[in-house]
């Protein structure tokens, strides 16, 4: 196998279509510990069962993939593009870098690039799909790396959640945001900063107002209908409503909807949406 695209499980893909012998795809799992029970974020994880458990839990946390988990996948190809959740939110990037050093010590001829997505979920989806398209178009290793890095720097992530319990509990956002979310039907809209951190943006009451605000954000930031992605935690109706709003404004838009995997479900919590779109502004 010549190429491999590897991500941590913050990427809401479990496979890369169309499958190809030339390009492999795999993910290294996060692990959620919920009241002492471990939930491994692989293809066998039952997300609804995990979400039910975490809503009843007294204490929970997440753990990033180990260097050895990354290194084992780095052994499977000659050229590897590795994509991670924002290094400001997790130690996964650092773990991948250690795994890279381990793999190169044994096989110095390999080409391995670890790319900080500066985000999570749908941005990694778009990066992995871009990398695959470029590889199929016979792009060089350097060109693929540059394309993925440019997308990491330019694409905008916006999200809306009704609960911030796990983000607060794990120190990702302030307690004030966690207190406001979910009160009296209020949803919080947040964005990913250029540095890869989480920033609260607006408080909205009701799903329709929230979705209109997200579309307005897209207009203000110059979205023009390029490939984008919406990840949802057990809230496909709201994701579909947003897609319809987007298509009514940009008929040529290519919008994909994906269910969140374990890690993004853990932090987005039930009914959360995470959106990523190219931002040329």
- 235-260 residues labelled b (16+ CB within 10 A) or e (exposed): beebbebbbebbeeebeebebebbbb
- State the pLDDT at residue 168: 60
- State the pLDDT at residue 225: 93
Nearest-10 Cα torsion for 97, 100, 105, 106: 160
Pairing of strands 31-34, 60-63: antiparallel
pLDDT at 173 over 80: no
Counts for the chain of helices (H) and strands (E), in that order: 10, 13
pLDDT, tens only, 34-93: 999 999 999 999 999 999 999 999 889 999 999 999 999 999 999 999 999 999 999 999
| Pick from 258, 4, 223: nearest CA to 125 | 258
**DSSP assignment, residue 66?**
P
Model confidence at 199, in pLDDT bands (50, 70, 90)? confident
Query: Domains in the chain, please, with CATH?
Result: 3-30+65-153 (3.40.50.10440), 156-277 (3.30.1180.10)
């Amino acid at each position: 196998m010549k190429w491999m695209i590897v991500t941590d499980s913050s990427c809401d893909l479990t496979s890369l279509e169309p499958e190809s012998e030339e390009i492999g795809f795999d993910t290294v799992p996060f692990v959620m510990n919920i009241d002492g029970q471990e939930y491994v974020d692989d293809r066998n994880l039952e997300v609804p069962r995990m979400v039910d458990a975490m809503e009843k839990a007294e204490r929970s946390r997440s753990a990033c993939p180990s260097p050895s988990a990354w290194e084992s996948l780095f052994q499977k190809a000659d050229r590897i593009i590795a994509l991670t959740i924002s290094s400001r939110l997790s130690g996964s990037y650092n773990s991948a870098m250690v795994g890279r050093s381990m793999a190169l010590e044994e096989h110095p001829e390999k080409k391995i690039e670890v790319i900080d997505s500066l985000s999570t979920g749908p941005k990694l989806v778009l990066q992995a799909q871009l990398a695959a398209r470029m590889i199929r178009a016979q792009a060089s290793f350097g060109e693929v790396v540059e394309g993925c890095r440019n997308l990491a720097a330019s694409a905008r992530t916006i999200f809306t959640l009704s609960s911030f319990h796990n983000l607060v509990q794990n120190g990702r956002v302030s307690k004030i945001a966690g207190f406001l979310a979910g009160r009296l039907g209020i949803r919080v809209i947040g964005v990913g900063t250029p540095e890869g951190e989480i920033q609260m943006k607006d408080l909205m009451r009701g799903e329709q107002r929230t979705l209109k605000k997200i579309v307005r954000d897209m207009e203000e930031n110059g979205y023009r209908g390029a490939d984008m992605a919406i990840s949802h935690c057990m809230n496909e109706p709201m994701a579909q409503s947003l897609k319809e709003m987007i298509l009514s404004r940009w008929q040529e838009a290519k919008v994909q909807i994906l269910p969140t995997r374990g890690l993004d479900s853990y932090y987005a919590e039930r009914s959360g949406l995470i959106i990523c779109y190219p931002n040329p502004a």
